[in-house]
Chains A and B, each alone.
Chain A
Amino acid sequence: MEKWKKRAPQKINGQIKDLESLLGAVMAPVTPRSEFVHQLQKRLESRYDPKPLNIFQPELLYYIAIGLVGVFSGMLITVMGIKWLKKSMKFKSIIQENDNINDQNSGTQLTAI
């Protein structure tokens, strides 16, 4: 019984080895017909379509994103700049108005004296 137990795995391993060598002998690589290989290459060449513009390409998407960020930030800067200009102009006009009023007031005071 012990002998059987010891030999059984060896027997199975031997059968597996035999099977592996049989498979190795039977499944030899096959060469496709050279005519087929050449014809297929020609067919592939004739139907080859050069790289189309794919907007989903990661590189292109990256550039599109950078472009959009650039455009939006440009618009934001322009709007803020205009606002700042308006504000500063308004501020200037208020000061000027104030100066004018001051001038007028000082004028009336002088005439009163």
Chain B
Amino acid sequence: MQSPEEGDFVQEISDEQALIEAARGDIEAFGVLYERYVGRIYNYIYYRTGSPNDAEDLTARVFFRAMRHIYNYADRGLPFSAWLYRIAHNLVANWHRDNSRRKEIPLDDGLITEHHHDYPEQELLKLEEKERLFKVLRTLPPDRQQLIILKFVEHLSNAEIGQIMGKSEGAVKSLYHRTLSVIREDFDQFV
């Protein structure tokens, strides 16, 4: 017997499956999928690269690749988003490999300098803290960066993250706690 939430999830998956089938021969159906996921994929890439320009470029590549290979997409009970994240993950990995000579990835100005309040000292401290946190995040292995982004930007559950990363819910939970411990240690040391 399925719970109402499980029923909704199954319904969502089957709706999406119908949309994917339609998208194989209909641009409008593909457009619906695009509108549904463009923001999420952009966010993911943005936090992985730290650059809005590269995020736009890579997001475009993700959707072009998805459009070319949608015929090969096979329904294995995984959401379509997991497939898109997998493409994005591979493209970001290639991007990092191509840009490996760069010592530091520029952080977006909008991320750091967005608030101007009455207490500039406090703001400065917050800003430094933020910058330090991003530097620590960038030193993490790709799968851990992915986990943190999916958790804090996309607000996905461990089960959903597991589907995207190809891990069990327990493995995701364990990786999450280990990652937080590493971030905490590095964050205290990183000055």
SS class, residues of chain B in contact with chain A = helix
B153, A27: Cβ atoms closer than 8 Å = yes
Chain B CB within 8 A of A19 CB: yes
- Complex: how many Å from CA A19 to CA B183? 8
User: Which residues of A sit under 8 angstroms from B180, Cβ to Cβ?
Assistant: 16, 19-20
Interface size on A, residues (CB 8 A): 30
User: Which residues of A sit under 8 angstroms from B34, Cβ to Cβ?
Assistant: 40-41, 44
Interface size on B, residues (CB 8 A): 39
B38, A30: Cβ atoms closer than 8 Å = no
A23, B71: Cβ atoms closer than 8 Å = no
**A30 touches which of B43, B64, B71, B133 (Cβ 8 Å):** B43
- Complex: how many Å from CA A48 to CA B67? 7
Stretch in A1-9, A50-58, A70-78, A104-112 with 4+ CB within 8 Å of B: A50-58
B24, A51: Cβ atoms closer than 8 Å = yes
In A15-43, the 8 Å CB interface with B consists of 15-16, 19-20, 22-24, 26-33, 36-37, 40-41, 43
Extra contacts, 4 of them, besides A32-B56, A44-B30, A44-B64 (Cβ < 8 A), are A16-B180, A23-B152, A33-B52, A44-B27
Residue positions of A touching B, CB distance < 8 A: 15-16, 19-20, 22-24, 26-33, 36-37, 40-41, 43-45, 47-52, 54, 57
Provide a sorted-by-A list of 16 A–B residue pairs whose CB atoms are within 8 angstroms.
Answer: A16-B177, A20-B180, A22-B133, A29-B39, A32-B59, A33-B52, A33-B56, A40-B38, A40-B59, A40-B63, A41-B31, A43-B60, A45-B27, A48-B27, A51-B24, A52-B71
Residue positions of B touching A, CB distance < 8 A: 24-25, 27, 30-31, 34-35, 38-39, 42-43, 46-47, 52, 55-56, 59-60, 63-64, 67-68, 71, 110, 129-130, 133-134, 148-149, 152-154, 177, 180-181, 183-184, 187
